[in-house]
Chain A
């Protein structure tokens, strides 16, 4: 287990910027990612990166609009995935 960074929201925002959006789109932790163009390939890439970077497993049932809508909601999801069941 990698342990989650304290500033998980920012780490996820960085990941979203790095992986998904070419150029410097002005994103914040509350930007609606679906409105910014998050599609199925993007979701797949986010899942891969989150699992690799934070050492968690994101179950298929967690792939919902609520969880993937912002960097902030992604962070909440990652914390739940990392919590012992």
Chain B
């Protein structure tokens, strides 16, 4: 196995060595000290490099499909420790999306716990102990330049949403991760005495969360379940000091019925979706801590964090990130640059230098800069639909709908919703307007091909779809 050098795992191991007895994880899966975490990661890394199909040269691309828990974190770290690039495969992805992800990233194989793959060749499936399975995949010719990919020292690839549509796969290198964690923690200030209550899906949140906490020597508290009562029970039992979750979870916690307090809470961060003012108000009334609003994007980490909590659309003042508004007025498309920016888009391959050819990353958010310098989000420029923190693109949903035999064409947009932010709704141009497909048929068709939150909540039959001059369906 390659020696550790400048890897994110090395940084975590170095911190672990300072206090090996301290707990890295507590809660549902029992307690795991930092010392034992290191031993577990080393043990699994040794197993991983010997798996059939693990490449002798270059960077292995390994999918990790594992429920949230200690095992998920250990496997992700072990893949990176083994010199591989870890690709989380979210549990909610149906088979179609999983195979698309495997093809796009040209995975050498997938490590999985639970779940059942039906299509795989039995002979390439290996039980490797600990309830884990290794599924070796046919080494397809990657559709990205492997040399360029490997030259960035990739640790991690995450798809910002689905695997089709406008999602490109974001490549993060070891160096980027280290810079990114340093930068984010300037704002979060998480340290070794913190205990962070885990509430988010690990396949979607790993870098500026699990990696950051472990690197800072903080303890991750894993609750028994995801209901507000479970979260609060774990928070109290294990003395959690930090909440980092979605606005929905903050709303559930604020409305939890037992009226228990959370005495140890010192930092509460709402991320992934806009925070409703009612939620912000209810949370501070219940727990006496204002929810900070984080602005996190996979390309940049957590470049902004507003701790003032007075207005939930204000995401903070820039510190180590530079910001610019397109058009150079007070309001425009938000552009930024700073430490720990992503390394490349995977598919189609596009290195950061090209994405940021004008020196800036264009976030696709419409923002306004207030007199005090803080940034207020006022809308979106891109077509992304954010369903309570889970993002998808209309294009990928439309593409699936068009494959239904009763559909000529489809247009999907995000309808504003007070609680979830947005919900996908579809306009359908049916083959036969007299007997159009039913909502149930369309939902079932989507369910087999798309993660649940991407399935339109409503279908409207239309006799035509508005088009642009070039013939594309005009977006709402």
Contacts and interface: CB of A to CB of B under 8 A. Distances in A.
Interface in B395-413: none
B257 interface: yes
B226 A43 contact: yes
B92 interface: yes
Interface in A41-83: 41-45, 48-49, 52, 59-61, 63-65, 68
B226 A39 contact: yes
Interface in B239-295: 248-249, 251-252, 254-257
Nearest to B282: A60
A34 B225 contact: yes
Contact of A18 (B94, B229, B444): B444
A63 B252 contact: yes
Interface residues of B, number: 35
Given A39-B226, A41-B453, A60 B252 contact: yes
Contacts of B249: 40
Given A18-B444, A44-B388, A60-B251, A65 B227 contact: yes
Contacts of B201: 39-41
B420 A48 contact: yes
A65 B420 CA distance: 21
Interface residues on A, range: 20 to 34
Contact of A42 (B95, B228, B254, B452): B452
Contacts of B94: 22
Contacts of A18: 440, 443-444, 447
B426 to A, nearest CB: 13
B153 interface: no
B225 A65 contact: yes
Given A40-B201, A41-B452, A44-B388, A63 B227 contact: yes
A64 B228 CA distance: 8
A30 to B, nearest CB: 19
Nearest to B420: A48
A64 B387 CA distance: 21
Contacts of A44: 248, 387-388, 420, 453
Contact of B254 (A22, A45, A60): A60
A20 B452 contact: yes
14 contacts: A20-B452, A39-B91, A40-B201, A40-B226, A41-B390, A42-B452, A60-B254, A63-B252, A63-B255, A64-B227, A64-B228, A64-B257, A65-B225, A65-B230
Given A52-B457, A65-B229, 7 more contacts: A18-B444, A22-B447, A22-B448, A41-B452, A52-B458, A59-B255, A63-B228
